[in-house]
């Protein structure tokens, strides 16, 4: 059976709203305390990419202490202003095996559904930095 996905979003008559999920609420808009659509897209990409990476690394019986992802990119100037390029700068701390970790990130890029969705309109890349 296919996985069902649902979300409810409420907006005022301006760009001010709330994304309501069973897990909680997120404020959407242009204010400092609110997330923009591209903030949410980058967050969704990194959450999916990381979850995929963890599953792969577990199967390889490898470990790490923590990881930080920083995304940066460019949007097209023409409408629709989709992402043209997006780079993920990955810093991983305490990786038990650098080669296995690198191969796991590469496989995560191939199998993460959101990474693959965005790759249909944008050039995606990543760089890995290792810290003890």
Q: Give the model confidence (pLDDT) of 79-111 as tens digits.
A: 999 999 999 999 999 999 999 999 999 999 999
Residue 57 confidence (pLDDT) above 90: yes
Confidence grade of residue 3 (pLDDT, cut at 50, 70, 90): confident
Question: Rounded mean pLDDT of 29-52?
Answer: 96
As a three-state string, the secondary structure of 21-67 is ECCEEEEEECCCCCECHHHHHHHHHHHHHHHHHHHHHHHCCCCCCEE
Percent of the chain residues past pLDDT 70, beyond the cut = 100
The pairing of beta strand 8-11 with beta strand 16-21 = antiparallel
Go through the domains of the chain in sequence order and give each one's CATH number: 1-35 (no CATH), 37-131 (3.30.300.20)
Q: Is the pTM of this model over 0.85?
A: yes
The model's confidence at residue 116, banded by pLDDT at 50, 70 and 90, is very high
The yes-or-no verdict on residue 113 having pLDDT over 90 is: yes
CB 71 within 8 A of CB 83: no
Mean pLDDT of 39-61: 97
């Amino acid at each position: 059976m296919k996985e069902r996905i649902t979300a409810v979003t409420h907006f005022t008559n301006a760009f001010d709203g709330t994304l309501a999920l069973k897990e909680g609420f997120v404020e959407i808009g242009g204010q400092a305390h609110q997330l923009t659509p591209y903030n949410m897209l980058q967050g969704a990409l990194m959450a999916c990419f990381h979850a995929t990476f963890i599953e792969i690394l577990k199967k390889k019986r490898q470990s790490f202490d923590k990881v930080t992802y920083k995304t940066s990119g460019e949007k097209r100037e023409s409408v629709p202003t989709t992402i043209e390029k997006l780079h993920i700068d990955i810093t991983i701390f305490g990786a038990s095996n650098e080669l296995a970790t690198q191969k796991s990130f590469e496989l995560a890029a191939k199998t993460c559904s959101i990474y693959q969705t965005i790759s249909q309109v944008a050039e995606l890349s990543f760089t890995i930095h290792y810290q003890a």
